[in-house]
Amino acid sequence: MHLLLAPRGILSHVFTQVAVPPPTAAQRAAILSAVAGEMQLAENLDICALAASTEGWSGAEVAAILRDAATAAIRENPEAQCIQARHIRMYQSADFTPP
């Protein structure tokens, strides 16, 4: 569970903690689909399977997957036409471990 801190008033130094649960598998799939937007994904990329593999991740962490995979694809080949499953695996095998 992630905590969000919000000020109680303009001049107040007291903060309220609001617990924000991680997104469900369906919500993570929706986040991935929204981020994918105009990105070209390889046919072997399954958004639902990818969403299922990110249990406990925040929405921002899930959204970063495709952005970082796109960067990996471009670095690998500046002429890349789509994000491949291997680009996702590059991201997942990095030293990133969600809370």
* Dist CA 53 CA 78 (whole Å): 28
61 or 38, which is more confident?
A: 61
Phi and psi at residue 3, to the nearest 5°: -110, 140
Q: Which residue has the tokens 């789509």?
A: 82
For 40-90, the pLDDT digits (tens) are: 999 988 999 999 989 999 999 999 989 999 998 999 899 989 999 888 888
- At 17 the pLDDT is 73
- At 41 the pLDDT is 92
Contact 17, 4 (CB under 8 A): yes
Contact 37, 14 (CB under 8 A): no
Structural domains of the chain, ranges and CATH numbers in brackets? 22-92 (1.10.8.60)
For 9-37, the pLDDT digits (tens) are: 555 555 667 788 999 999 999 999 999 98
Contact 82, 42 (CB under 8 A): yes
- For residue 7, list its beta bridge partners: 15
